Structure 1
Amino acid sequence: MISAILWALIGGTIIGFLGKWVAPGDRDNVPLWLTIICGIGGVLIGTWLYSLFFNPHTNGIDWWRHIWQVAVAAVLVVVAAGVTGRSKS
């Protein structure tokens, strides 16, 4: 249980930063904690969506699943930036 939470936090942080990096426009105004939340959401929702369309049990590293996770995290970062409405000023 603890290892699953730890992996979700580590993976969510990495996926969140990658999602922020590939999100269109300037998304530097999203706070760190929200980026991590978007990353965790990207991991969970991206994995779920991927398993709906493809075989989730593959050998080795499943790069396509990670691409789906980053894409979902990018969408969540864009939504979070719009909802929080933080400005750079």
Structure 2
Amino acid sequence: MDIVWAIIVGFFAGMIAKWLTPGPNKPRGFILTTVLGIVGSVVATWLGQQIGWYGPGDGANFIGAIIGAIIVLLAWGQLARRT
């Protein structure tokens, strides 16, 4: 059930991140949006653990997943602009 929850949260976090982030270089499609949100959640969890906000077994909440997805989306836009 954890993987299903991660996919659902990742999808919504990816959608909100795409909506909040300006610029034309946004990934399109359901699967890419979901992957963006899941990777964003992983990034937010890792950053939160490095800073000390989350413990070793804790994960990022929904807001953290959105912020992580925005970070990943901004990096995606920089890479897409270069090619």
Task: With the length of structure 1 as denominator, give the TM-score of the two structures.
Answer: 0.65
Picking from 62, 66, 71, the partner of 2:67 is: 71
Picking from 42, 54, 59, the partner of 1:44 is: 42
What is the aligned-residue identity percentage? 26
Alignment check: 8 A CA contact 2:26 2:73 kept: no
Deviates most, 10-19 or 71-80: 71-80
1:71 and 1:8 mapped to 2: Cα distance?
15
Picking from 30, 37, 55, the partner of 2:28 is: 30
For the pair shown, the structure with the greater C-alpha radius of gyration is 1
Give SS of 2:23's match.
Answer: coil
**Alignment correspondent of 1:20:** 18
Name the CA shift for 1:38/1:71 in 2 (closer, same or farther; >3 Å): same
1:44 and 1:54 mapped to 2: Cα distance?
15
Deviates most, 70-79 or 35-44: 70-79
Q: How large is the Cα RMSD of the aligned pairs?
A: 2.7
Runs of 4+ in 1 over 4 A off after TM superposition: none
2:27 and 2:40 mapped to 1: Cα distance?
19
Q: Which amino acid aligns with 2:29?
A: P
Which runs of 5 or more structure 2 residues have no equivalent in the other structure? none
Deviation at 1:54, TM superposition (A): 2.8
Deviation readout 1:47-70 (Å, 9 max, x if unpaired): 11112113315xxxxxx8544422
**Number of aligned positions between the proteins:** 76
Task: With the length of structure 2 as denominator, give the TM-score of the two structures.
Answer: 0.69
Q: Which amino acid aligns with 1:70?
A: I
